Amino acid sequence: MNVREYMSRVPGYAAFPSVDAMRDEFDQVAAAHPDLVRLRRVGTSRLGEPLRALSIGDGPLDAVVIGGPHPNEPVGALTVSALIQLLCQDAGLRAGLGFRWHFVACADPDGARINEAWYGRPGDRRAYVENFFRPDLADQVEWTFPLLGGDYHFDRTLPETAALMRLMDQVRPSLVYSLHNGEYQGAFFYINRDDRVLAERLAGVPGVEGIPLHHGEPELPGAKPLSPAVYLTPDGARVGAAFGAGGNSADYAARFGALHLIAEVPYWTDDRVSDQSEVGRPYREIVAEGAAARRELFDTLREGMLAVSGDLTVRSPFRRSTEGTLETFRRLAELEEAVPCLDRPATVAEEFGNRQALHLFRLRLLGLFLRMLDAEIAVGNPTPAIREQRHLLAERFDLWYGQAEADSPGPPVEIRKLVAVQLGAALVAASHAAESRAAMDGRDSPAGFREGSW
């Protein structure tokens, strides 16, 4: 299989699709390919949105592909679209991979609708942070899979998460692929097996599109690297217990012995995200600066919340996320402090990544806080405290946005490239999963990935 050639077939995109557009595309594909495609409802969202899966192929193995596990991460919806089109058009690819594919375009449609104001302006960082929404960890589809064994118990599974569980229970997948995207960084991956061959293959995919690998801080402190920018998926019970959440889709996929893959691709990037040269400062100094800045952010939000908490009347998703995220942010700081801070020189990637993560944390969380206050004002509750905090925090937002823009904001990555990387990773993982299953069963490998096929 020539993965590079399949990646080159990904078309250009001007914007991210709305929830309605995703629904309409599923309908159109099912109508155009009635003998090939099956469309069925697997659940219902908290606000009553139908959750549907589109299935293609008749191979001996099953793959579940999850788009939009977080509502501020819509790249995966386009990757689902591109994979569906490719599989519908290429019978040889379907047969060669040997999978039945089951796609969910958007796992959290309720949250996605709250983000749609910036979907039409990809790359516009101000539009993104002013219209940003992401639930707190314990309200996220990806992090509310049940954890019922051991010392920690979680069973507050969301309806959307239950729909994904139902789909996996029905098809018993050999591969589960959760499509994520980051913000200002390089590309990186998580896999749920200590498989260095697969890790090396995945690490080669982003470079095909000129996207650098992420060599800064790992997303979760202490994540185990398997190869450059490929990490072993953190244990869901450990993360869930630390943050009061559940397991993730990798934990549920393990019930079926499935290979689980997460692909993280960036909206914006810069060559410095992969620069491993020394920056001339100690690593502990970089960590200390970042911790101090995050404490300032936490204090700003906490003080603002204390000032308005007695006046809040609207149980908006912005309020629930803001309140929960403050607690999650506090726990994350404790988790980071528990990771040993090595007394060594810092790299350019670490210094640059820490600064950019801080910029986005500030703007995302403060933008969400302002949306919470705007919801109060919109329903006729502009109390003096709410108006005062709206004014003060808007000024702080403008200050922090200016600092972010002055700190080399970097160009947005072309959407087509992001989709191509996620599509290429799907083909690499599917081929590898099929090869592994064939080896276990004592069969010949399918006509999938081969060394040198780039």
Q: Give residue for tokens 């060599």.
A: 215
CA angle 284, 217, 362 (to 5 degrees): 90
Beta-carbon count within 10 A of 270 CB: 20
pLDDT of residue 451: 42
pLDDT in tens, 380-409: 999 999 999 999 999 999 999 999 999 876
- Rounded to 10 deg, the angle between the 317-338 and 236-243 helix axes is 110
Q: Which CATH architecture has domain 277-406?
A: Up-down Bundle (1.20)
Range from 21-35, 303-317, 320-334 carrying the lowest mean pLDDT: 320-334
User: Which residue type does 302 have?
Assistant: R
- What are the residue ranges of CATH 1.20.120 in the chain? 277-406
Residue 156 CA: distances (Å) to CA of 144, 146, 181, 244: 7, 7, 25, 11
Rounded Cα–Cα distance for residues 324 and 345 (Å): 35
3-state secondary structure 387-449: HHHHHHHHHHHHHHHHHHHHCCCCCECCHHHHHHHHHHHHHHHHHHHHHHHHHHHCCCCCCCC
- pTM across the whole model: 0.94
pLDDT in tens, 338-391: 666 678 999 999 999 999 989 999 999 999 999 999 999 999 999 999 999 999
Q: Give residue for tokens 């193995």.
A: 61
- Between 307 and 238, name the one with better pLDDT: 307
Average pLDDT over residues 109-129: 96
Please say whether the beta carbons of 318 and 115 come within 8 A: no
pLDDT at 327 over 70: yes
Q: Which string of DSSP letters, residue by residue, matches 191-259?
A: ESS--HHHHHHHHTHHHHTTPPBP-SS-SSTTPPEEETTEEEPPPHHHHHHHHT--B-HHHHHGGGT-E
Rounded Cα–Cα distance for residues 173 and 135 (Å): 28
Instruction: Report the CATH fold assignment for 3-269+412-441.
Output: Aminopeptidase (3.40.630)
pLDDT of residue 452: 41
pLDDT of residue 445: 57
Rounded Cα–Cα distance for residues 173 and 258 (Å): 6
Average pLDDT over residues 281-286: 92
The radius of gyration of the chain's CA atoms, rounded to the nearest angstrom, is: 22
pLDDT at 328 over 90: no
Can you name the residues that pair with 62 across neighbouring β-strands? Answer: 100
- What are the residue ranges of CATH 3.40.630.10 in the chain? 3-269+412-441
What six digits make up the tokens of 99? 């999978």
pLDDT in tens, 155-210: 999 999 999 999 999 999 999 999 999 999 999 999 999 999 999 999 999 999 99
